[in-house]
A and B are shown apart, each in its own frame.
Chain A
Amino acid sequence: MTDLITSEPAAMPADWTVRSPHRIKRARAETRFRLYGIVAIGIAVAFLASMLLTIFIGGAGAFTTSKIGLDVTFNEQVIDPSGARDPASFRGVNYRPLITGALAEVFPDVEGRQDTRALYKLISTGAVYQLENMVTENPDIIGTTQRVWVSAGTDTNLYLAGKIDPDMPQELRQLTERETGWIETLKSAGHVKTDINTSFFTNGDSREPEQAGILGALMGSFFSLIVCFVIAFPLGVLTAVYLEEFARKNRLTDFIEVNINNLAAVPSIVFGLLGLAIFLNVFNLPRSTPLVGGMVLALMTLPTIIIASRAALRAVPPSVREAAYGLGASKVQTTFHHTVPLAMPGMLTGTIIGMAQALGETAPLLMIGMVAFIVDVPTSVVDTATSLPVQIFLWADNPEIGFREMTSAAIIVLLIFLVLMNLLAVILRKKLERRW
């Protein structure tokens, strides 16, 4: 041994360094193949980056909005002529005169019905509800004058965001020369500020882009996914456990397995049609609700969960089952004490990936009517609702320019949730994985 270490290293065999044509060819082939891989990844990353960049640039504007500050006089004569201060009576009052009054103070020279109407259009139609809420919350402001920051109107918003080209001919663009002049006046008088668009996160859908929000769709998606999980997870896992651990392998189970695999490949719209035919028309469940949406998504997710769970169960080494059987554990004990806990990380990963698919699914929801224009934010699974992808579809379909960036913004929200769900899958897998 020591001889080997102390002696001089033997000369390298001559043919180790020979660069024969065969070896050169082989080395080139390896380099070439590595290059193909890098190019392929590069192209994929470039496509992904350009897609994300487009969406983020397009959607960034929707997260900020322009506000217009008005010195509103809360005239008692308009709001509460009787002086009773009955909160119920504040609702349904026409608050528009308060806004036109405040505008008239900034633009004293604008007169006439048509002109005041044009001026009023600079402000969002939602401003009256903002005033109504202020009065209802705090009746003491009646009779006072307050600076109120109200949302700018759709076109004002676009103009302030630089989305309206002032060089365009007046007939083709949304705002006339005079109206842009008014906006400039407001701006120079300090009546305009840019704010975070909170209504995007707190409102439901709306006809007006500046009032439209994602919350309704978000809650719709959330409730649908809850229903989907509650149905699909136990059903899928128990199906997988039965097929993998208990069922005898015969023609019937083979047939079931083939069909489950086929179901995973069925276009999702078919599940939507099934939901329409069975859940809505036969069971008469409420249309356009997350309940039915979740049920349809559960049907769609089931094959994914079953296949992933079976794979996870199959990956549990048989020696664990044998050990339990050898100790006199029954089949159910073996399955639920050992096999299922060991397979759980895989099952959960499959479930979350299935749920992420369900979150992005549009077609089946169109079939069961979750595509309606719904302003109210749903508060339960039986309220009518849309879902995130459907909302994107609706906004993308809307001809109004203001919805363009809303669409991108909604896509950003959807993407964030998808990334979060996949992250959760990774974390769960890492955490629950056999630690030893």
Chain B
Amino acid sequence: MDALTDTYMTDTTQEKPADMIMTARNVDVFYGKKQAINNVSLDIPKGSITALIGPSGCGKSTFLRCLNRMNDRIDICKVSGDIRYAGQDIYAPKVDPVALRARIGMVFQKPNPFPKSIFENVAYGPKIHGLATSKSDMADRVETALKQAGLFDEVSDRLDEPGTSLSGGQQQRLCIARAIAVQPDVILMDEPCSALDPIATAVVEELMDSMRDDYTIAIVTHSMQQAARISQKTAFFHLGELIEYGDTTQIFTNPKETRTQSYISGRIG
């Protein structure tokens, strides 16, 4: 615990505290009686990609889902601790999780476009939040989001076609465009490339890198290579605990913890 706090403290001294868009302190998560997350404290710096790595069942996805209160949907899931977004406690009673998720978007493991047209897929978020002022404004928003997701050139002539008719990689980029269209600050990605082939993965990774200027991204990934390629910060989870958190280069080249060392060298996992 102390070591972790120290890590955190050194991190904040290196960067300005204001740059931390999300902060988590002493987070515990229980599924019924089973503890999935044990006392995790972690900060996500603004405008960067933070990767959460670790073996299956280590709680990294659970932790990610705490950041936009997706776990609220599960009745037996209890979250305690302090998670803040832009300094605000997101688990405070007056916080509306629906509004929160509009600021902190999410992209899922399996591409899950709605069974509607490509246009409607992207337009859905702005529509329910009342962002668009007119039909042409909506069209602009959809186009901008698709362009940011690098998908517009591929689908510009068939926006009316079902989103599910796209290839897997395109579908995932559509899901990213859909998340972008709501103009969130943070985008949480839960293994966004695990269902994609290497070429589509490379495209999505490139996209994530280009999004770094406008959005803060937290990504759960099984692939250590991916984490090493795209992220600036890496957190290593094991058995529900945060073992080590630091700059990606430091984690992969000079891990402080032996367990981190074992994992990245393939000895546990």
Contacts and interface: CB of A to CB of B under 8 A. Distances in A.
A249 interface: yes
16 contacts: A317-B112, A322-B108, A322-B112, A323-B113, A323-B175, A323-B178, A325-B101, A326-B101, A326-B105, A326-B179, A327-B101, A327-B125, A327-B179, A327-B182, A337-B128, A436-B115
A342 interface: yes
A322 B69 CA distance: 12
Contacts of B165: 436
A324 B179 CA distance: 10
A327 B128 contact: yes
Contacts of B39: none
B70 A322 contact: yes
Contacts of A317: 112
A320 B175 CA distance: 11
Contacts of B179: 326-327
A387 B179 CA distance: 55
Contacts of B110: 319
B232 to A, nearest CB: 24
A26 interface: no
Contact of B75 (A249, A319, A342): A249
Nearest to B184: A328
B124 interface: yes
A248 B77 CA distance: 13
Interface in B104-139: 105-108, 110, 112-115, 124-125, 128-129
A319 B125 contact: no
Given A322-B108, A323-B175, A436-B164, A330 B114 contact: no
The 4 closest A-B CB pairs, nearest first, are: A328-B102, A326-B106, A436-B162, A319-B112
Interface in B150-168: 162, 164-165
A324 B128 CA distance: 10
A283 B151 CA distance: 63
A434 interface: yes
Interface in A329-343: 329-330, 333, 337-338, 342
B128 A329 contact: yes
B197 to A, nearest CB: 20
Contacts of B108: 319, 322-323, 326
Specify the main secondary structure of chain A where it touches its partner.
Answer: helix
A321 to B, nearest CB: 8
Contacts of B115: 320, 342, 434-436
A333 B128 contact: yes
B139 to A, nearest CB: 19
Contacts of A330: 98, 128
Given A326-B68, A327-B102, A327-B179, 19 more contacts: A248-B75, A317-B112, A319-B112, A323-B112, A323-B114, A323-B175, A324-B124, A325-B70, A326-B70, A326-B105, A326-B106, A327-B101, A327-B105, A328-B99, A328-B128, A329-B98, A434-B115, A435-B115, A435-B162
Contacts of A329: 98, 124, 128
B73 interface: yes
Nearest to B69: A325
A121 B128 CA distance: 76
B65 to A, nearest CB: 10
A330 B96 CA distance: 10
Interface string B46-68: 00000000000000000000001
Nearest to B178: A327
Given A249-B75, A435-B162, A327 B70 contact: no
Interface residues of A, number: 22
Interface of B: 68, 70, 73, 75, 98-102, 105-108, 110, 112-115, 124-125, 128-129, 162, 164-165, 175, 178-179, 182
A320 B105 CA distance: 15
Interface string A160-188: 00000000000000000000000000000
Nearest to B73: A325
A328 B175 contact: no
Contacts of B100: 328
Nearest to A329: B128
A325 B182 CA distance: 12
Contact of A328 (B73, B101, B112, B113): B101
With a 10 A CB-CB cut-off, give which of B101, B113, B164 has the most chain A CB atoms. Answer: B101
A333 to B, nearest CB: 6
Interface in A235-257: 248-249
A90 to B, nearest CB: 65
A329 B114 CA distance: 13
A92 to B, nearest CB: 66
A81 to B, nearest CB: 77
Contacts of A328: 98-102, 105, 125, 128-129, 182
Nearest to A316: B115
Contacts of B98: 328-330
Nearest to B117: A436
A320 B114 contact: yes
Contacts of A435: 115, 162
Contacts of A434: 115
Contacts of A319: 108, 110, 112
A329 B125 CA distance: 8
A241 to B, nearest CB: 16
A330 B98 CA distance: 6
Nearest to A321: B73
Contacts of A333: 128
A214 to B, nearest CB: 44
Contacts of B162: 435-436
Contacts of A249: 75
Nearest to B115: A434
A43 B73 CA distance: 52
A328 B175 CA distance: 14
Interface string A347-369: 00000000000000000000000
Nearest to B129: A328
A248 B75 CA distance: 7
Nearest to A249: B75
Nearest to B109: A319
A328 B127 CA distance: 11
